[in-house]
Amino acid sequence: MDQLESFNKYYYLLIEGNNKFNLTAITEVKDVAIKHFIDSLTCLTFIDLANNSTIMDIGTGAGFPGIPLKIMRPDLKITLLDSLGKRVNFLNETADILGLENIKAIHGRAEDFGREPQFREKYDYAISRAVAKLSVLTEYCLPFVKPGGYFISQKGPEIDNEVKEAGKAIEILGGRLEVINSLNLPGMGDGRSIIIIKKIKQISKDFPRKAGVPGKKPIL
């Protein structure tokens, strides 16, 4: 199926799944198209993802931004990570129905998978959309990124204090803040920020810390 057909089918699968798994509070067609689908794709405006790049989508929820990215860029190899098993089942079923290849959803915590040799520093990009404060999210995401790769954080408009607060975590976890891009979603004016952090060195074996610790005791 073509891209438009895939997005249309994804919408109906999302609404159907929402009745079972409480996937999203946003359900109107236009709102889903802009606030989920287009919002997920905003990172493509600011970073040129190389062909066949590997991507880890942390805290993907209903598949954002990973599934829209896969629909737009079939060449990407995407792993969707979520802590709720029912959502993971929904995501894998959705990928099958949409005929998407080289995308899989896995069930677990970022802190645990970030220590696994199969996943640790194996990805060109880690992407996350409004999952946690940047100081916490950095510890979730940078362990997955290869040195030379990037962590892309998709956030709302007011992020100055959050970025400042995350400075120490970014440095300790082997990253360097590259750029912060701002935009407004079409037709709604909702502000968004795309924070791009480059992984400049291997991460210490001390990170990520045990599950639950980053959220309770962020690196500040």
List the chain domain ranges: 3-208
CA distance 145 to 3: 28
User: 111 labelled as ligand-binding?
Assistant: yes
Per-residue pLDDT of 14-40, as tens digits, reads: 999 998 888 999 999 999 999 999 999
Under the banding of pLDDT at 50, 70 and 90, the label for residue 7 is very high
Per-residue pLDDT of 103-159, as tens digits, reads: 999 999 999 999 999 999 999 999 999 779 999 999 999 999 999 999 999 999 999
Residue 24 corresponds to which tokens in the numbers above?
A: 């999203």
Mean pLDDT of 83-104: 96
pLDDT value of position 189: 80
pLDDT value of position 5: 97
Q: How many helices (H) and strands (E) does the chain have?
A: 10, 7
CA distance 212 to 209: 8
Given a cut of 80, whether residue 213 has pLDDT beyond it is yes
What is 3-208's CATH superfamily?
A: Vaccinia Virus protein VP39 (3.40.50.150)
- Rounded mean pLDDT of the chain? 95
User: 87 labelled as ligand-binding?
Assistant: no
**Residues of the chain above pLDDT 70, percent:** 100
Under the banding of pLDDT at 50, 70 and 90, the label for residue 187 is confident
pLDDT value of position 138: 97
User: 129 labelled as ligand-binding?
Assistant: yes
Given a cut of 80, whether residue 162 has pLDDT beyond it is yes
User: Residue 218 has what DSSP assignment?
Assistant: -
Given a cut of 90, whether residue 188 has pLDDT beyond it is no
Mean pLDDT of 197-218: 96
Q: What's the farthest any 2 CA atoms get from each other in the chain?
A: 47
pLDDT value of position 17: 93
Per-residue pLDDT of 69-84, as tens digits, reads: 999 999 999 999 999 9
User: 110 labelled as ligand-binding?
Assistant: yes
* Neighbouring residues of 200: CB distance < 8 A, sequence distance ≥ 6: 147, 148, 174, 175, 176
